[in-house]
Structure 1
Amino acid sequence: MKELWKKSATDLSQLIRQKELSPVELIDLYAERINNIDPIIHAFTFLSIEAAKEKARALEKEILHGDTSSPLFGIPIAIKDHFDTVSTPSTYGSYLLKDYIAKEDHLLVKRLKEAKAIILGKTNMPEFGFSATSHNPIFPATRNPWNLEYTSGGSSSGSAAAVATGLCPLSLGSDGGGSIRIPASFCGIFGYKPSRGRIPWPIGKGKDLENWELFSHAGPLSRTVEDAVLLLSVLSGPDPSDPYSLPKAEFCWSDCLKEDIRGLKIAYSLDLGYARIDPEVKQIVTKSIELFETDLGCKIEEVDPGWPDPSEAFSTLVYFGADLPVLKKAVSENRQKISSHITRFLERSFKPEDFSQALKIRRKVIFEMSKLMEQYDLFLTPVTAVPPFPLYFQGPDIIDGERADPLLSWLPFTYIMNMTGQPAAAVPAGWTSKNVPVGLQIAGRHLDDLTTLRAAYAFQKAYPWQDKWPLIALSASKD
Structure 2
Amino acid sequence: MTAFRELSATLTTIEREDPRLCAFLDVWRDEALARLPEAARLPLAGMPFAVKGRAGIRSYAARRLIAAGGVPVGSTSVPGPGTHWKTWGLGTHGRTVNPWRPDRTPGGSSAGSAVAVAAGLVPLATGSDGAGSVRIPAAWCGVFGLKTTNGLLPSPDRSGLASAGVLTRTAADAQTYLRCVLDGYEPAAAELPLTAAHSPDLGFADVDPEVAAVVRGAVRRLVTAGVVRLAEGGCALLDPGAAWQAVRDGRTEPRPDETRRENDRRLDAFFAGTPLLLTPVTPNRPHGHDGPGGLLSTSLTWAFNLSGHPAASVPAGFTPDGCPVGLQLVARRGADAQLLAMARAVEEALGPVRL
Tell me the TM-score range normalised by the shorter chain: over 0.9
TM-score, normalising length from structure 1? 0.70
What are the equivalent positions in structure 2 for 1:165-314 lying under 5 Å apart? Answer: 165-201=119-155, 203=156, 211-237=157-183, 248-249=184-185, 252-253=186-187, 255=188, 258=189, 261-301=191-231, 303-314=233-244
Report how far residue 22 of structure 1 moved: 1.8
2:68 equivalent in structure 1: 115
Q: Which amino acid aligns with 1:109?
A: A
Structure 1 residues 375, 59: CA separation in 2 closer, same or farther (over 3 Å shift)?
closer
Find the aligned partners of 1:315 and 1:136 in 2 and give their Cα distance: 25
1:82/1:174 contact within 8 Å kept: no
Cα distance in 2 for residues equivalent to 1:126 and 1:441: 23
Listed as ranges, the gaps of 5+ residues in structure 2 are none
Residue 435 of structure 1 aligns to a residue in which SS?
Answer: coil
Distance 1:54 1:136, change over 3 A: closer
Q: SS at 1:374's partner residue? A: helix
Q: Which of 367, 387, 403 matches 2:265?
A: 367
Distance 1:57 1:426, change over 3 A: same
Q: Relative to 1, partners in 2 of residues 1:137 and 1:235: Cα closer, same or farther, differing over 3 Å?
A: closer
User: Distance in 2 between the 1:24 and 1:453 partners?
Assistant: 30
Q: 1:452 pairs with 334, 339, 353, which one?
A: 339
- TM-score scaled to structure 2, two decimals? 0.93
Change in Cα spacing, 1:353 to 1:443, as seen in structure 2 (3 Å) is closer
- Local SS of the residue matching 1:280: helix
Q: 1:106 to 1:282 in 2, by over 3 A?
A: closer
Root-mean-square deviation (Å): 2.2
Aligned length: 354
Deviation at residue 387 of structure 1 after TM alignment: 1.2
Separation of aligned partners in 1, 2:178 and 2:100: 27
Measured against aligned partners, the alpha-carbon deviations of 1:218-242 in whole angstroms (never above 9, x if no partner) come to: 11100011110001111123xxxxx
**Map of 1:56 onto structure 2:** 36
Supply the distance in 1 between the matched residues of 2:95 and 2:232 (Cα, whole angstroms).
38
Is 1:378 aligned to 2:276, yes or no?
yes
C-alpha distance in 2 between matches for 1:396 and 1:302: 36
1:421 lines up with 2:316 in the alignment: no
Matched-pair contact (CA < 8 Å) for 2:193–2:228: yes
The letter of the residue matching 2:23 is A
Relative to structure 1, the CA distance from residue 388 to residue 38 in structure 2 (aligned partners, 3 Å threshold; closer, same or farther) is same
Residue 109 of structure 1: how far off its partner (Å):
2.3
Question: Percent of counterpart pairs with the same letter?
Answer: 31
Counterpart-to-counterpart distance in 2, 1:377 and 1:121: 37
- Does 2:102 match 1:148? yes
Structure 1 84/154 Cα, relative in aligned 2: closer, same or farther at 3 Å? Answer: closer
Q: 1:287 is aligned with what amino acid?
A: G
How far is 1:302 from its partner?
A: 6.2
> Is the 8 Å Cα contact of residues 159 and 248 (structure 2) preserved in structure 1?
no
The one of 27, 36, 46 aligned to 1:74: 46
Q: In the alignment, is the contact (CA less than 8 A) between 1:125 and 1:158 conserved in 2?
A: yes
1:64 corresponds to: none
Distance in 1, Cα, partners of 2:278 & 2:123: 27
| C-alpha distance in structure 2 between counterparts of 1:106 and 1:49, whole Å | 20
8 A contact 1:431–1:438 mirrored in 2: yes
Q: What's the CA shift string for 1:319-344, capped at 9, x where partnerless?
A: 22xxxxxxxxxxxxxxxxxxxxxxxx
Q: Deviations over 1:371-428 (max 9, x none)?
A: 11112110000000011121130x243xxxxxxxx3x3x3221111111111111000
Are 1:126 and 2:79 counterparts? yes
Structure 2 CA distance for partners of 1:305 and 1:191, relative to 1, 3 Å = same
Q: Are 1:389 and 2:319 matched, yes or no?
A: no
Aligned to 2:324: 437
Conservation of the 8 A alpha-carbon contact between 1:219 and 1:232: no
Residue by residue, what CA displacement relative to the aligned partner does 1:247-282 show, whole Å, maximum 9, x if unpaired?
A: x44xx12x3xx4x53243211110111111111111
CA offset at residue 58 of structure 1? Answer: 4.3
1:48–1:361 distance in 2 versus 1, CA, 3 Å: same
* Segments ≥4 residues shifted beyond 6 Å: none
Partner of 1:316: 246
Contact 1:383/1:441 (<8 A) preserved? yes
Residue 336 of structure 1 corresponds to none
- Residue equivalent to 2:22: 42
Q: Choose 1 or 2 for highest CA Rg.
A: 1
